[in-house]
Amino acid sequence: MRKGSTIYLIIIVIVIGAIIIFAGNFRPSKLEENVEPTENVAEETENVTVPEEEEKEEREETPVEIHGKLSVEGTDIIDENGEKFQLKGISTHGLQWFPQYVNQEAFIYMRDNWGINAIRLAMYSNPNDGYKTELHQIVKNGVQYAKNAGIYAIIDWHILNDGNPNINKESAKNFFMEMANLYKDEENVIYEICNEPNGDVQWLRDIKPYAEEMIGEIRKIDDDAIIVVGTPTWSQDVDVVAQNPITGYDNIMYALHFYSATHKDYLRQKLTTALNSGLPVFVTEFGICDASGNGNLDIEEADKWIEFLNSHNISWMNWNLSNKNESSAILKNTEKTTGWTESELSESGKWLVEALKK
């Protein structure tokens, strides 16, 4: 019995030892299976979500995200929060000549580095100046790039050498009907229906009837976007318009253009008269050279203009985004279409960047 008991005990010890060894070898592998997926999921979650959260924290809201749909109240532009708002930016040159500057990178660069909140897209209206319907696509591209960048887009029917807006009225009507159908639900689009009426053109006889017809066509489609109307004498006679403005529509503004080496205090007096009459004015184009877009600069007078405009919450768009060999072009000695250094800016360009910071 003793011997048998001993053998029996030995067998029991061996079995128990085997079980312990087996259990010891088994548990780590199970723990490994349980732990590794948890660690991997945590690692993958960290890799996916943390950068997104950091990006959201660092990303600043765009002008359109902050201010939304704009409207006109009295002489002011106001944002969707009911606060006064001032548009500041730059106009392209003619899209038929300088389409390369209508690109996504340029709009974002100017927004982030210069502080623009708007871009003006200059579609020349005269076939003799290169107008053709194929150019509409560049405008559409520009509006989309502006939307992506969160800035406002001014669609400019750029009357100049055609003088009287009624000359190409049917083309204008087709153009704005096309644009309004595309952008009636967008927050960032403004229509400028006649850049600079000039020559033998009068407000009551020529411009106002054209504007009323064009506004009526746009309002059939887009009932609340801001519409800017040009004024006589290359958009200078806002005092004349103030005596008999367009009625029956909301969110209508009137253009005033100046070039500081030519247009001085007498034109600011016209603007003051218009403002005192309650006329909402938008400076959709200006330069700091003479009225030809070339010649010497008058920075002292330009500073007076900007101080006046800023103090009266008047929006302004500088002319022009190009490397054309003229004083008003903001670029020089470069073919780059974005990311410009200070040395690639003209004197007008350097002044503009500083004016935007004010």
List residues with catalytic annotation. 196, 285
Q: How far is the C-alpha of 207 from the C-alpha of 241, rounded, in Å?
A: 10
The amino acid sitting at 30 is K
DSSP line for 15-31: HHHHHHHHHHHHHHHHH
Nearest residue to 118 (alpha-carbon basis) of 79, 81, 83: 79
Say if CB 55 and CB 141 are below 8 A apart: no
Alpha helices in 150-204 (DSSP H): 169-183
Q: How far is the C-alpha of 253 from the C-alpha of 321, rounded, in Å?
A: 24
DSSP annotation of 122 reads: E
Strand, helix or coil at 196?
Answer: coil
Q: How far is the C-alpha of 324 from the C-alpha of 306, rounded, in Å?
A: 24
Omega prior to 47 cis, within 30 of 0: no
DSSP line for 297-315: --HHHHHHHHHHHHHTT--
Helix count (H) and strand count (E) of the chain? 11, 10
Say if CB 148 and CB 175 are below 8 A apart: no
Say if CB 254 and CB 224 are below 8 A apart: no
Say if CB 193 and CB 172 are below 8 A apart: yes
